[in-house]
Chain A
């Protein structure tokens, strides 16, 4: 059972998660987001937001979102296009954690590397009701 996100302290690094951009998964993603634009650029290109979705998935695999958690902001910078078939490693680190009026506000840096180097960096801002227990 992964730790709850709100119990993680600033500086906590979550272990990296590995993914493969399999043709089947990319097709499933492109169909789900109805992205006709990507296919016009090249048959092997992956929508950049698919990489971002994997970064968020990595976070959710390594830390459980408590009830009431809300994703309130997102920043991302893409370094290069990802290609179908590429293997990726996504990691996350808590860069800020504050508590005010019963709510926790956290900033989590996300990064995704592929076989050819960095693909994406970003930061998710998440808020959630404060739990009774102190952060570890």
Chain B
């Protein structure tokens, strides 16, 4: 697998978020915070309804980075993000990224999750060791 060059757009991951998917993640991730799983509770919060776990959105980014960088992402990847807005059931979330620079032996990408309205939900940078890596 060859490292993508500066300017390369990573193949996006597009996911339709549903309450069922949020519930499945809550069960797998062990995060049963009612903000994610209880519509009645969540309706009383600042969010006005359930929202997806931030870590679920990061899993979509990780899926994109795994496809782009293979083992380099699993073995030596770095990610730094801010959660900017929540994803809600019914949203279509796109995990996108592009290579912005190479520095200190790493390929650095700007990464984002956006909803169907183009609103940024998560933004930050990911980095993987540069160079040829086994797929």
- Interface contact A48-B73, CB-CB below 8 Å: yes
Cross-chain pair count, CB within 8 angstroms = 123
A38 at the B interface (CB under 8 A): yes
Given A32-B21, A32-B27, A57-B31, the answer on whether A49 and B71 have CB atoms closer than 8 Å is no
B101 at the A interface (CB under 8 A): no
Q: Considering the complex, which residues of chain A in the window 55-104 have a beta carbon less than 8 Å from any beta carbon of chain B?
A: 56-57, 60-61, 65, 67-68, 70-81
- Indicate the member of B21, B59, B78 with the most A CB atoms within 10 Å: B59
Q: Is B43 an interface residue (CB 8 A)?
A: no
Closest A residue to B73 by beta carbon equals A48
Given contacts A56-B55, A73-B82, contact A45 B74 (CB under 8 A): yes
Question: Are A36 and B76 in contact, CB atoms less than 8 angstroms apart?
Answer: no
**Any chain B CB within 8 A of the CB of A105?**
no
Distance to closest chain A CB from B52 (angstroms): 11
B77 at the interface (CB under 8 A from A): yes
Partner of B79, one of A45, A60, A75: A75
Where chain B touches its partner, the secondary structure class is helix
What's the Cα separation between A45 and B56 when bound, in Å? Answer: 19
B29 and A57 within 8 A (CB)? yes
Contact B29 A78 (CB under 8 A): no
Knowing A32-B25, A38-B66, A65-B33 touch, does A52 contact B58 (C-beta < 8 A)?
yes
Number of residues on chain B facing chain A (CB within 8 A):
38
- B30 within 8 Å of A (CB atoms): yes
B28: Cβ under 8 A from any A Cβ: yes
In the bound complex, CA of A28 to CA of B82 (Å)? 26
B residues lining the A interface (CB < 8 Å): 15, 21, 24-25, 27-31, 33, 45-46, 54-56, 58-64, 66-67, 70-71, 73-83, 135
9 cross-chain pairs, A with B, having the tightest CB-CB distances, nearest first: A33-B59, A57-B30, A81-B74, A37-B66, A49-B62, A32-B28, A32-B24, A37-B67, A53-B29
9 contacts between A and B (CB under 8 A): A28-B24, A48-B73, A52-B55, A53-B28, A53-B31, A67-B45, A71-B83, A72-B82, A74-B81
